[in-house]
Structure 1
Amino acid sequence: MAGNRDRFSTSTRLRLLGEQTAARVYRSQSRRQARRSRLTGRAAFLALIVCTLVVALAYPMRQYVSQRNDIADQERTARDAKQRVEQLRDEKARLQDDVYIERLAREHLHYVKPGETGYTMIDPGARKQTKDDEGAADRAWYSNLMDGVDNADRPDK
């Protein structure tokens, strides 16, 4: 009877409950640790593989992107050059026309045909004159050119 009584005593029941609980917790922790250690090893290996791939592919990808940008720049430059060639071909064709050359000579060089009278109008508000340019706007372009050539050798300039 004493064993029966001891078996149902509160302290005995609490002790047994504590031991059972401790055993369950220990089994649960050991299972979790086993699972966790197995997953941690796999995760570490996977992380190592991913890092290796990133490091291995980083430089080639950077080179690829850089080369694509260079190709795009070269294509843009080639397109601009083709456009400029077309403009120059058009200008060359216009320069073959005598009427166009005559018009350019009249506009830019102030040429006149024999028997015509040439007039040059100066807009007083078009350009402010500096000390060095005094009177330059009143003269023909070739006079200013010759003055520039003469003044280029002066030591005081």
Structure 2
Amino acid sequence: MAKRPQLKRPQLTGRAAILAVVVCANAMSLAYPAREVIAQRREIARLEEEQTQALHRLRTLEERRKQREDPEYVKQMLKERLHYCEPGAKCYVVLDQKPAGSAPRGGGKKPEPPAWYVTLWQSVEAADQGRDSVPASRN
């Protein structure tokens, strides 16, 4: 018996091509709604974060309102900020003294640099006398 040559089957049949087209069409039709769902979830998360921050600001403002309704706090602020003195009390205000927080931390007062024209004149004198620069003690 003679062997018949076998016919090679095509790799892609008609059914497989139709199935591939249907799968691609389904994937394409689901891509846009899936993208919208993801975008909506991001928007919801952003709005929830914004709501949390707004509630935090509201609580802070509510605490400040309650604090300002307290008569003791109001008296304290009047004394500190406006130098209010209650009737019958002796209050003093020192005008020539700097506030305690404004003193330099180095222990001593920092020397102020000389005016620009003083530095200029010192450099002219140094050049006239043949020196290279102004001595550090005159700076």
TM-score of the aligned structures, taking structure 1 as reference length: 0.53
Q: What is aligned with 1:91?
A: 64
Structure 1 moving runs of 4+ over 6 Å: none
Deviation per residue, 1:65-115 (Å, 9 max, x gap): 1011111111111121112111111111111011111222333x2514152
> How far, CA to CA, are the matches of 2:79 and 2:18 in structure 1?
84
1:31-42 to 2 correspondences below 5 Å: 32-33=8-9, 36=10, 39-42=12-15
1:71 partner letter: I
* Corresponding pairs, count: 99
- Whether 2:112 is the aligned partner of 1:125: answer no
SS of residue paired to 1:125:
coil
Could you list the runs of 5+ residues in structure 1 that have no partner in the other structure?
1-15, 127-157
Indicate which of 77, 83, 86 corresponds to 1:111.
83
CA RMSD of aligned residues (A): 2.6
- 5 Å-filtered alignment, 1:23-102, equals 23-24=3-4, 26-27=5-6, 30=7, 32-33=8-9, 36=10, 39-102=12-75
Q: Which ranges in structure 2 are unaligned for 5 or more consecutive residues?
A: 106-139
Q: Which amino acid aligns with 1:125?
A: P
Aligned partners of 1:110 and 1:118 also within 8 Å: no
Output the CA distance in 2 between the equivalents of 1:106 and 1:42. 91
TM-score, normalised to structure 2, is 0.59
Greater fraction helix: 1
Q: How high is the sequence identity, in percent, across the aligned residues?
A: 28
Q: Which residue of 2 aligns with 1:154?
A: none
Counterpart-to-counterpart distance in 1, 2:26 and 2:104: 71
State the one-letter code of the partner of 1:121.
P
| Helix, strand or coil at the partner of 1:106 | helix
Determine if contact 1:112/1:118 at 8 Å carries over to the other structure.
Answer: no
Structure 1 counterpart of 2:74, which letter? I
